[in-house]
Amino acid sequence: MGIIKATLSLVVAVAVTYVLTSVLGTQFVLAEIQSFGLNISISDRIAATLHDIAGLVPVLLTLVSATFLIAFIIASIGARLFGSHHKGWYLAAGFTSLPVTMVLIKTAMGITPFAAAGSAFGLFLIALCGLAGGWVFVLLLRHRGA
Amino acid sequence: MKTLFKLCLLLFLVNTAAAKEYKIDTIVEGLAYPWAIAFLPDGDLLVTERPGQLLRIANGKLPASPVTNLPDIFVGGQGGLFDVLLDTDFVINQRLYLSFASGSKDANATQVISARLDDNNLVDIETIFIASEAKDTPYHFGGRLALLADQTLLITVGDGFDYRTQAQSLDNHFGKLIRINTDGTVPADNPFVGQEDVLPEIWTFGHRNPQGLLVSADGTVWLHEHGPRGGDELNIIRPGRNYGWPAITHGMDYIGAYVSPYTEAAGMEQPVVYWSPSIAPAGFCEYQGEAFPRWQGNLFVAALVEKSVRRLVISAGEVLSQDTMFTELEQRIREVRVGPDGNLYLLTDSADGKILRVSPAN
């Protein structure tokens, strides 16, 4: 039962982080385009955001899922080995896992496939998206455990 | 029934005629990722291999040793030795131009040298261009060269992948077409000469990774460039123009998101034609020869991903039709050139790359 709860919580956490990261990525790209002098209407912005949420599923959703699975397993082990503060472990896992993955991809491939990850500020915002996922995960676990 | 039979017979005859239009012979094999070819006046071939070697091939045989005295070349990712171009007065001065990636994994750039070919050695080497700024990605170098009628040199420089937004800034060389004199100085009539915070070598901007460049017989400058996922472009180059990348594009990012939701914008050029899905255009030439009269004035685009060569029938700057050729080879085609004999020469892109000659079947 605990595994099922944890899995469902992970699925929701991944979904939240995926959507936030996708939306963030689109806004980054649109900001770049605006800097070239193009005006972006609200309808274009919404359409582009929705387009990317759908379009990023094969790559980014897979990436977030794999990253969170590994990170939260490590967090779970860490919390058991080093006592309490489960919440802190999962929040830390959520915050750090995606930026670390992006940096590893850059190191391995020599490029940054996700444009928003190309700057320290972008990585920080991606980390906040992961933190939100970690927070959702903790919240759901606590709620379901109550 | 008779009509159907006649139609089938006609189609058979047409197909048979087309199939027999050319034959393909292997001239040389065993080349490591050949990138470009030049035809020397004495009949020898100069071939660049991306891993950093320049070969002088005589009588269809690999040389015992490569051309010596090449500069240090950064080999990694898409980086390495790129184009070789003979000076218009090569017969007199033996000068040639080489483009390559220089630097290191953490700081590399597209560089061009001028040198004199002395038998199997490079001498009198001068660096005439280094792209600014250095980058830490081993991708999107551009690296194609062409000489204009006024003997100025055009150089394509890619956007460096991670630096794509820089293609819209004029204070760097990312995603630009460069025009310089062959001694490295800047022509006074370049479009941005004298403007503050603008590099004067820039001729056009807003390119992604241009790896095809030619000056056609009528003086038109053609350039093709790799798009991301879709959106490969064929452009007619006009000095000072903005070709849009990454503000507008017909391609998508590799991960499935928009590079831009826009395909057109004021002040940005539209391609003559674009290819989605990508064919990965590499080499480029205009057919001017007698071996294939039917191809006269056609443009040929080597395609890596499509494993083909596109033959483009052009009229008044527009593509009237396209043929996809040489797919029977099932090879990534890096380069396509017309030889002095009027035959077409192809370079296949692999660790066991080949020079292939396409000549009339009869």
What is the phi/psi pair of residue A72, to 5°? -75, -30
- Nearest CB partner across the interface for B259, out of A29, A59, A114: A29
- Closest residue in B to A119 (Cα) is B162
Sheet holding B176-180, edge to edge: B145-147, B153-157, B176-180, B202-205
Confidence of residue B11 (pLDDT cuts 50, 70, 90): low
Q: Where are the domains of chain A?
A: 2-145
Confidence of residue A146 (pLDDT cuts 50, 70, 90): very low
Tokens of A79: 């919390």
Q: Is A2 exposed, middle or buried (0-12, 13-18, 19+ CB in 10 A)?
A: exposed
Average pLDDT rounded to a whole number, residues A105-133: 95
Interface test with B, best of A38, A64, A109, A126 (most B CBs within 10 A): A38
- For residue B245, give the nearest of B123, B353, B253 by alpha carbon: B253
- Nearest CB partner across the interface for B256, out of A36, A55, A115: A55
pLDDT for A3 equals 86
- Closest residue in B to A52 (Cα) is B257
* B221 pLDDT above the threshold of 80: yes
CA angle B99, B105, B111 (to 5 degrees): 20
Confidence of residue B17 (pLDDT cuts 50, 70, 90): very low
Whole-model pTM: value is 0.93
- Residue indicated by tokens 């359409």: A47
pLDDT for B5 equals 58
Report whether B335 contacts B350 (CB < 8 A).
Answer: no
* DSSP sequence for B159-189: -TTTTGGGGG-TTS-TTEEEEE-TTSPPPTT
Task: Spell B90-113 as b/e; 16+ CB within 10 A means b.
Answer: beeebbbbbbbbbbeeeebbbbbb
Confidence of residue B20 (pLDDT cuts 50, 70, 90): low
- Nearest CB partner across the interface for A56, out of B76, B105, B255: B255
Q: CB A7: neighbour CB atoms within 10 A?
A: 11
ipTM score? 0.91
Tokens of B221: 């400058």
Interface test with B, best of A24, A36, A107 (most B CBs within 10 A): A36
A63-88 pLDDT per residue, tens: 999 999 999 999 999 988 887 678 89
Percentage of residues in chain B having pLDDT higher than 90: 94
B24-38 pLDDT per residue, tens: 999 999 999 999 999
